[in-house]
Every structure is written in structure tokens, then in C-alpha cells.
């Protein structure tokens, strides 16, 4: 199998263990951007409000992806192919383009954060050299395919956990910040929930990419849930407290004020690599669906190279991190509702070969899927003052179920 392949995985190739899948998601979510979520919460938050919001958002966002993970294990196709079921071929292409473009921001952001801290701690090289170097290392590992990433994660994730413990001890020993005492505005709570859930939802389009290599659908779902939820419940609060101690949301300032030194550098560097395995792989699958004639290896090199180069210019993105997360949430939360309605609520039967036929019923746009996606995105923005996530999910699911019924059998799949 090629390092990036859109074809269905054969049952004989479903050799990844639930532990491998768990480690992939742990390695993807133990990263500086997860710390950044906590650091980006509204300044009005008291400790109790912040921890409550992070707990609800971390678990709720993880569930959104985990409930869909068994679909990947059953269908054995990548996420971007599975979405053709609800959006049609053209709709899935539009989603692939969105994923391809936005993932460059994540890749570059991870590289530049790791490069900045490493340069500061070691005093060696420049941020540009480290950013490009880290980007190329991640690219080479992705070229080895999902199993190569899983092997590296078996070494990297334990080191990440160890350095995470060191980070936790440093936060506990740090001076207690002065927390706000005034009542937290309801609008800030709603915004905080959307930031946390929006960040967790950024992994949504990975719901089938790696789970398709796991034979047991139930085990795949649990592995994804615990991989995303436990890491978020751990690292988001660390980022919130560390930023309060440092008086800054800059990861470099947090590492410096906690005197983490080499431990901080190791945490951020390894985290940048493990999460970019996933980012590069997802983007390569999206590109492959947009340009099937492009080889998987060429796509990985293209994405990894551009991501490394863009890392030279992404320092300013930290200031817009929360806004970027909210935009992603407004686009991806409705996709989650749409897929839940299609695969979980309606339990639409799946004929996998139709996903690869451009002349099938899946060609073009699925108007029920497109209508539900647009409605969910609009509601997310309009209900921002009370929290856009739940209204968006409910709207998307309701619109899809109703519009699919009105289509009178012209649903995206014909029964197997």
C-alpha cells in the first residue's frame, strides 16, 4: 500500500491495534496548540469556570469524533471518501479543499512554536533552520505510512507523557496566579466552550483515516475518545494556568517562566512531530482526492515542504489562535452533525464501490447535505452569544434528516 492511498483497506490489512490508534491520537493532541487552547480562554475566567468549560468542551469535542470512528473501521475508507456519502462527490471535494488549506496553518504553527522554543533553549541555529528541519523530519516519517507513524509514536508518546509530567509538576510548584473574582459574563462562557469544542472538532475529519486500519469498530471508537479526551483534560488546564503565571499566552514565555529548559524543548519538539504526522497525512489524503493522478509521495513532500516554509511566517498566528479555532468550529461542527445524522441517526446503508464511481448517485452535490452544512454554519455564527456548538449540531442534524426524507429515496447511498 502507498503511504497515502484512497482505496479501501482490505480486512487483511486491518492490523493496527487499538493501542496504536490511541497513541496516534495522544501524540496528535499532546502539543503546544492544546496548551494554547487553555491559554486563549477569556481573561475574565475564574479557575472554576475555566476548568468546567475545558472539561465539558474536551469531552464533548472528543465524543464528536469518537462516535464516528467506528464508521471508518466498518467502511475501511479514508474520511474524505466516506464524506461523499452525505455531501456527494463535489461536496466532498469542497471539504477536501477546506481541509487541505487550513491544515497548512496547523503544520506551520506547530513547526514555528517548536523551533522558537528550541532555539531559545539550546542557543543553536535559527528559528528558520529548526522550523524547516522539523517539518522535513515529520514528512519523512509520514512517507513510511500510518504504520511508520505508529512505530515512532510508540517511542515518542512515552517521552511526551514523561515531559508532560515534568510540565505538570512545574505548574503545581509555580506561584498561584491571582484569579478574577467578578462574575464571568455568559457570553465569555459561551465563547470559551466554542473555542474548546472547536479545537477538538479540528480532528473530526480524521474520524476514518486511522480507525480504518483497526478491525474492531467499538475498540476504534474508544481509542479515539480516550486519546483525545484525556490529553485535552490534561493539557488545556496546564496551558490556562501556565499562561496566568507567565502573564502571556506565548508558549515560549510559559516554558521560560516555569524553568523547564530542555524538558520544555523536548515536549514541544516531539509534540510538533507527532501532531504533524497526522496533519500531513490528512492533507495528503485530501490532496489525493482532489488530484488522483498525483502520487502519494509527491503529495506528502509538497505538503510537508510548504508547511515547513510557512512556519517562517506564522508567529503572528498565535494572536489570532482563538479566532481561527472558532472559524474552524463553525465549519467542522456542522460536518460532524451531518455525518452523525447520516451514519448514526439514519443509519444509511453503505455500498462502498459507489463512493468511487463518478457516474453514481454520489456524483455532484447532495442538496440535503449542502443545505444542512450551510444551515449549521449560519446557526453557529448567529448563536455565538449563547454558544454555537449545540445549536449548530442540532440544526444540522434536523435539516439533514428532514431534507433527506423529502428527497424521497434519492439519498446518497443505495442499500448494500
Average pLDDT of span 289-299: 78
217-243 pLDDT, tens digit per residue, is 999 999 999 999 999 999 999 999 988
In-domain check, residue 61: yes
In-domain check, residue 187: yes
Q: What is the pLDDT of residue 412?
A: 43
In-domain check, residue 6: no
Higher-confidence position of 210 and 149: 210
In-domain check, residue 416: no
Q: What is the pLDDT of residue 414?
A: 47
Q: Domain range holding 216? A: 16-406
Which of helix, strand or coil describes residue 74?
A: helix
In-domain check, residue 108: yes
Read off the C-alpha cell for 311: 512556519
In-domain check, residue 414: no
Q: What is the pLDDT of residue 4?
A: 61
Q: Which residues pair with 214 in a beta bridge?
A: 16
Q: What is the pLDDT of residue 409?
A: 52
Read off the C-alpha cell for 125: 541555529
Q: What is the pLDDT of residue 23?
A: 86
Read off the C-alpha cell for 143: 512517507
Q: Please provide the size of the chain in residues.
A: 416
Higher-confidence position of 216 and 316: 216
CA angle 270, 152, 209 (to 5 degrees): 100
Element spanning 4, H or E: none
Give me the numbers of helices (H) and strands (E) for the chain, helices first please.
Answer: 16, 0
For all residues of the chain together, what is the average pLDDT?
82
Higher-confidence position of 117 and 195: 195
Read off the C-alpha cell for 206: 480524521
CA–CA distances in Å: residue 208 to residues 53, 92, 107, 236, 278: 28, 14, 20, 25, 12
DSSP characters over 301-364:
HHHHHHHHHHGGG-GGGGGGHHHHHHHHHHHHHHHHHHHIIIIIIS-----GGGGG-TTSTTSS
pTM above 0.75, yes or no: yes
- Give the integer Cα–Cα distance in Å for 35 and 33: 5
Higher-confidence position of 155 and 26: 26
Which of helix, strand or coil describes residue 214?
A: strand
Number of domains in the chain: 1
Higher-confidence position of 219 and 123: 219
pLDDT over 60 at 411, yes or no: no
385-403 pLDDT, tens digit per residue, is 777 888 898 999 999 999 8
- For residue 176, the domain's CATH number is 1.10.4160.10
In-domain check, residue 201: yes
Question: Which burial class, exposed, middle or buried, applies to 303 when counting CB atoms under 10 A from its CB (0-12, 13-18, 19+)?
Answer: buried
pLDDT over 90 at 322, yes or no: no
Element spanning 175, H or E: none
- Give the integer Cα–Cα distance in Å for 408 and 410: 6
Q: What is the pLDDT of residue 366?
A: 84
In-domain check, residue 205: yes
Amino acid at each position: 500500500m502507498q503511504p497515502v492511498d484512497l482505496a479501501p483497506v482490505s480486512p487483511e490489512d486491518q492490523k493496527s491495534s487499538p493501542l496504536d490508534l490511541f497513541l496516534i491520537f495522544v501524540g496528535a493532541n499532546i502539543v503546544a496548540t492544546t496548551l494554547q487552547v487553555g491559554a486563549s480562554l477569556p481573561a475574565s475566567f475564574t479557575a472554576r469556570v475555566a476548568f468546567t468549560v475545558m472539561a465539558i468542551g474536551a469531552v464533548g469535542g472528543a465524543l464528536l469524533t469518537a462516535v464516528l470512528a467506528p464508521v471508518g473501521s466498518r467502511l475501511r475508507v479514508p474520511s474524505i471518501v466516506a464524506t461523499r456519502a452525505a455531501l456527494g462527490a463535489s461536496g466532498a471535494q469542497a471539504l477536501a479543499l477546506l481541509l487541505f488549506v487550513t491544515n497548512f496553518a496547523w503544520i506551520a504553527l506547530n513547526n514555528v512554536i517548536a523551533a522558537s522554543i528550541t532555539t531559545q533553549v539550546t542557543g543553536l541555529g535559527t528559528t528558520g533552520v529548526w522550523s524547516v528541519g522539523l517539518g522535513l523530519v515529520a514528512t519523512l516519517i509520514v512517507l513510511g505510512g500510518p504504520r511508520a507513524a505508529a512505530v515512532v509514536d510508540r517511542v515518542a508518546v512515552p517521552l511526551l507523557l514523561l515531559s508532560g509530567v515534568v510540565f505538570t509538576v512545574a505548574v503545581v510548584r509555580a506561584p498561584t496566579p491571582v484569579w478574577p473574582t467578578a462574575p464571568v459574563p455568559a457570553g465569555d462562557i459561551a465563547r470559551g466552550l466554542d473555542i474548546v469544542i472547536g479545537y477538538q472538532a479540528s480532528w473530526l475529519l480524521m474520524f476514518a483515516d486511522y480507525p480504518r486500519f483497526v478491525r474492531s469498530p467499538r475498540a476504534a471508537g474508544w481509542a479515539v475518545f480516550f486519546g483525545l479526551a484525556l490529553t485535552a483534560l490534561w493539557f488545556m488546564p496546564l496551558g490556562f494556568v501556565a499562561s496566568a503565571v507567565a502573564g502571556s499566552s506565548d508558549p515560549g514565555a510559559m516554558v521560560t517562566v516555569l524553568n523547564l529548559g530542555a524538558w520544555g524543548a523536548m515536549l514541544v519538539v516531539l509534540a510538533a512531530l507527532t501532531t504533524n504526522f497526522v496533519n500531513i497525512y490528512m492533507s495528503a489524503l485530501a490532496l489525493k482526492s482532489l488530484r488522483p493522478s498525483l502520487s502519494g509521495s509527491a503529495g506528502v513532500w509538497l505538503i510537508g515542504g510548504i508547511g515547513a516554509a510557512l512556519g517562517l511566517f506564522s508567529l503572528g498566528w498565535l494572536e489570532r489562535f482563538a479566532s481561527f479555532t472558532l472559524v474552524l468550529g463553525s465549519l467542522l461542527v456542522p460536518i460532524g452533525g451531518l455525518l452523525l445524522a447520516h451514519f448514526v441517526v439514519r443509519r444509511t446503508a453503505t455500498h462502498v464501490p459507489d463512493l468511487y464511481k463518478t457516474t453514481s448517485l454520489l456524483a455532484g452535490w447532495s442538496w440535503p447535505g449542502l443545505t444542512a452544512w450551510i444551515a449549521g454554519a449560519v446557526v453557529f455564527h448567529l448563536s455565538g452569544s449563547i454558544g454555537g456548538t449545540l445549536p449548530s449540531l442540532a440544526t444540522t442534524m434536523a435539516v439533514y434528516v428532514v431534507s433527506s426524507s423529502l428527497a424521497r429515496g434519492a439519498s446518497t447511498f443505495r442499500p448494500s
